[in-house]
Amino acid sequence: MTDVLEKPLTPAPSAPAPPTVGAPASAPRERARGPVATLLRRPGILVAVALVLFALVAAITPALLATHDPTATAPLERLLPPSPAHWFGTDELGRDLYSRVVHGSTLTIAATALAVGLALVSGLALGILSGFIGGGTDAVIMRIVDVLLAIPGLLLALAIVTALGFGTLPVAIAVGVGIIPGFARTTRAEVLRVKTLPYVEAARAGGASWTRILLTHVLPNSWGPVVVLAVLDFGAAILAVAALSFLGFGAAPPAAEWGTLISNGRNYLMTAPWVSLVPGLFVAAVVLSLNHLAKSIEEVQR
Amino acid sequence: MTRYVLGRIGQAALVLWAAYTATFAILYLLPSDPVALQLGANNIEVDSLTPEQREAAAARLGLDRPVWEQYLVMLGNALRGDFGVSFAKQVPVSDLLAQRLPGTVTLSVVAVALALVLGVAIAFTATLVPRGAVASLLRRLPAVGVSVPNFWIALLLIQIFAFILGWLPSMGDQGWQSYVLPAITMAIPTSAVLAQVLIRSFDDTLDEPYIATARAKGLTRYDVQVRHAFRNAALPTLTILGLLVGSTVTGSIVVETVFSRNGIGRLAQESVLQQDIPVVQAIVVLAAAAFVVVNLIVDLLYPLLDPRIAHTPKVSRA
């Protein structure tokens, strides 16, 4: 769908291939021009990759990208609009917002990675158990998944946060549990599909144990769509983590989380709108990039 | 047909019961301490109590009984509409809900209606206009809609329409004007999801032979889409209607907090901050009930709209 949409807004730069896109995208059909090259011909992808890489680097080594100390207050530089000195402006204590956003990546991305990781592992396990064993186990697991789906995600997360308390870790767990059902269902569907393929039957006839078949045949062949789902859900999970910390359930005040930053700016919306709006724009751009990448990977895989 | 209807109703009731049980398990079995939370909400220092005082408090709250007994008592009460007493506010939860519900329901209905109109309009126009700049812009719009945090949309709308233009109020719930910005905020992510599904569905439907026939008869593209494609293309979106209502309703948590509206969503946010377990549980169950009921209605309407379904009972929703 997107190929017709991608009108080159800027002349496609011929940048060297960033290694990150190549790993999940593997389409054996396009041998002449690899999937990575195909993707890189689209400028939208490059921008998206750049933004996601930026967020990842910011999360891992924030000091590398930050221009100021995120906690250094400067009473004379309160609520300055964005400028060359302060790219995103400053907040009510004169702290540099750009640096706070960069440092905020650490907590937010960590929480998101934890949430998606939790959902991926439990979802894979549940999906495999369900699809592979079948019968009563399958019925029980799938009914539990149905019930989890019946509770809107954010509310389920709120219930978990109420029970576990506030902070980055409870928020991560709460968001993660909410997205387990999707992973479990996708994995189960894939396992059911792969299980009936001739090579599994062949392996079985060859005397391989079920464990061996599971690990060497079923698992490697069924996690493709699950990985796409993980990338796709990463964006949604960032939004959920940000929403929970926006509502005040995240890390305690001095720490910077994306949602908390946006929430703090609410009090100065009338006089200094950038305090909320610029970090929010950044979050939106990162999530949009992630979703765009996930969609492109999905297209290439097909 | 009767069997189908009864089956669906039974299944809905079962899911609702399971949702109640799941929230009970989360809220009462996870390592939180309801007794401490309850006493803490009343400004009683839990640590200063003697073990005897603590036990007396637990007995008074019914929290000293075995978990399964607490569960059965609560489930029985919940079935009669009694969700206990709020820890923080010391009023029956059902009174709180009844007081806060109307505003949220009105807002949600407006938002869902707006989301339907917006989503259908975007999908319809995106597939109608010839491929080009406008079409590609419209097709890309939903992806943006699902990526933008709703609290950020809310703040942006407040900034533009309340502060810069001064057209609409930024908070409170006085008059119809106060519904506009919250409803738009809640509708945007929902309409984006709807538009995504509907665009895909339109694309598939427009490839069908009967569309070519209609075109060959001399109908305009517009007429073909309105008269022939729309009904078929809209069917898949019906299955996600429950999901859309669910996402709109959860949107109310953030939206009511940002716009300072006194509804269920804001109550949810406050109750989580105060770790007010009974209120949180009641709200989660209420939302699950809304979701289950919408799905039930969709399931019951489906055979009427798509006769192919009537004799093959659907196992679960997509």
Q: What is the pLDDT of residues B191-250, one digit of tens each?
A: 998 998 898 888 888 888 888 888 888 888 888 888 888 888 888 788 788 778 888 888
Both tokens assigned to B49: 């109590």
Both tokens assigned to B169: 């109020």
> Averaged over A180-191, what is the pLDDT?
88
**Contact: A163, B163; criterion CB under 8 Å:** no
pLDDT at A175: 92
**Contact: A276, B271; criterion CB under 8 Å:** no
In this prediction, what percent of chain B has a pLDDT beyond 70? 87
Q: What superfamily would CATH give domain B100-305?
A: MetI-like (1.10.3720.10)
Both tokens assigned to B223: 């007429």
Q: What's the CA gap between B220 and A4, in Å, rounded?
A: 24
Q: Which of these, A246, A146, A163, A301, lies nearest to B255 by C-alpha position?
A: A246
> Averaged over B292-311, what is the pLDDT?
77
Give the type of residue at A224: G
Indicate whether A268 pLDDT > 90.
no
Place of tokens 């939106």: A284
| C-alpha radius of gyration, chain A, whole number | 22
**Contact: B152, A165; criterion CB under 8 Å:** no
**Contact: B284, A158; criterion CB under 8 Å:** yes
Q: Which residues in chain A are contacts of B246 at CB distance < 8 A?
A: 152
List residues bridging with B92 in a β-sheet. B85
Q: What's the CA gap between A45 and B152, in Å, rounded?
A: 24
In this prediction, what percent of chain A has a pLDDT beyond 90? 8
Indicate whether A14 pLDDT > 50.
no
Report yes or no: B189 and B150 within 8 Å, Cβ to Cβ.
yes
Indicate whether A188 pLDDT > 50.
yes
pLDDT at A6: 39
Residues A193-222: pLDDT tens digits?
Answer: 888 888 888 888 888 888 888 888 888 887
User: Please, what's the b/e burial string for A153-177 (b: 16 or more CB within 10 A of its CB; e: otherwise)?
Assistant: bbbbbbbbbbbbebbbebbbbbbbb
- Measured in angstroms, the CA of A73 and the nearest CA of chain B are apart by 25
CA dihedral A72, A248, A175, B237 (to 10 degrees): -120
Indicate whether A88 pLDDT > 60.
yes
- What is the DSSP-derived secondary structure letter of residue A96? B
How does residue A35 score in pLDDT terms, banded at 50, 70 and 90?
low
Indicate whether A249 pLDDT > 50.
yes
Indicate whether A156 pLDDT > 60.
yes
**Contact: B156, A277; criterion CB under 8 Å:** yes
Report yes or no: B250 and B189 within 8 Å, Cβ to Cβ.
no
ipTM score = 0.82
Q: What's the CA gap between B273 and B144, in Å, rounded?
A: 31
**Contact: A164, B143; criterion CB under 8 Å:** no
pLDDT at A118: 93
Biggest CA–CA distance in chain B, Å, is 87
List residues bridging with B266 in a β-sheet. none
Indicate whether B317 pLDDT > 60.
no
List residues bridging with A90 in a β-sheet. A96
Report yes or no: A250 and A244 within 8 Å, Cβ to Cβ.
yes
How does residue A116 score in pLDDT terms, banded at 50, 70 and 90?
very high
Secondary structure of B208-241 in HEC code, one letter for each residue: CHHHHHHHHCCCCHHHHHHHHHHHHHHHHHHHCH
Give the chain B residue whose CA is nearest to the CA of A151. B288
Give the chain A residue whose CA is nearest to the CA of B276. A162
**B188 Cβ contact list (under 8 Å, min separation 6):** B115, B118, B145, B148, B150, B153
Place of tokens 């980055």: A168
Q: What's the CA gap between B261 and B267, in Å, rounded?
A: 10
> Averaged over A16-28, what is the pLDDT?
43
- Coil/strand/helix, residue B92: strand
Which one of B136, B250, B276 has the shortest CB-CB distance to A152? B250
Query: In Å, how far are A72, A86, A105, A225 from A94, measured between CA atoms?
Result: 8, 10, 20, 46
Indicate whether A24 pLDDT > 50.
no
Total Cβ atoms within 10 A of residue A28: 6
> Averaged over B9-18, what is the pLDDT?
87
Report yes or no: B262 and B273 within 8 Å, Cβ to Cβ.
no
**Contact: A280, B26; criterion CB under 8 Å:** no
Q: What's the CA gap between A215 and B291, in Å, rounded?
A: 38
Report yes or no: B244 and B111 within 8 Å, Cβ to Cβ.
no
pLDDT at A36: 65
Place of tokens 């999360």: A59
> Which comes out higher in pLDDT, residue A96 or A235?
A235
Indicate whether B47 pLDDT > 70.
no
Indicate whether A75 pLDDT > 90.
no
**A163 Cβ contact list (under 8 Å, min separation 6):** B26, B27, B30, B31, B32, B277
How does residue B263 score in pLDDT terms, banded at 50, 70 and 90?
confident
Q: What's the CA gap between B119 and B121, in Å, rounded?
A: 5
Q: What's the CA gap between A234 and A291, in Å, rounded?
A: 8
Report yes or no: B275 and B37 within 8 Å, Cβ to Cβ.
yes
> Which comes out higher in pLDDT, residue B67 or A55?
A55
**B78 Cβ contact list (under 8 Å, min separation 6):** B20, B282, B285
Place of tokens 């010839």: B130
Q: Which residues in chain B are contacts of A241 at CB distance < 8 A?
A: none
Please count the residue pairs, one from chain A and one from chain B, whose beta carbons lie less than 8 angstroms apart. 160
Report yes or no: B19 and A151 within 8 Å, Cβ to Cβ.
yes
Indicate whether A18 pLDDT > 60.
no
Q: Which residues in chain A are contacts of B19 at CB distance < 8 A?
A: 147, 150-151
Q: What is the mean pLDDT of chain B?
A: 82
Q: What's the CA gap between A236 and A129, in Å, rounded?
A: 26
Which one of B159, B258, B283 has the shortest CB-CB distance to A277? B159
pLDDT at A119: 92
**Domain segments of chain B as ranges:** 11-79, 100-305
Q: Which residues in chain B are contacts of A281 at CB distance < 8 A?
A: 152
Both tokens assigned to A86: 């302060």
**B81 Cβ contact list (under 8 Å, min separation 6):** B94
Indicate whether A10 pLDDT > 70.
no
Q: What is the mean pLDDT of chain A?
A: 79
**Contact: B291, A164; criterion CB under 8 Å:** no
Q: What's the CA gap between B59 and B51, in Å, rounded?
A: 12
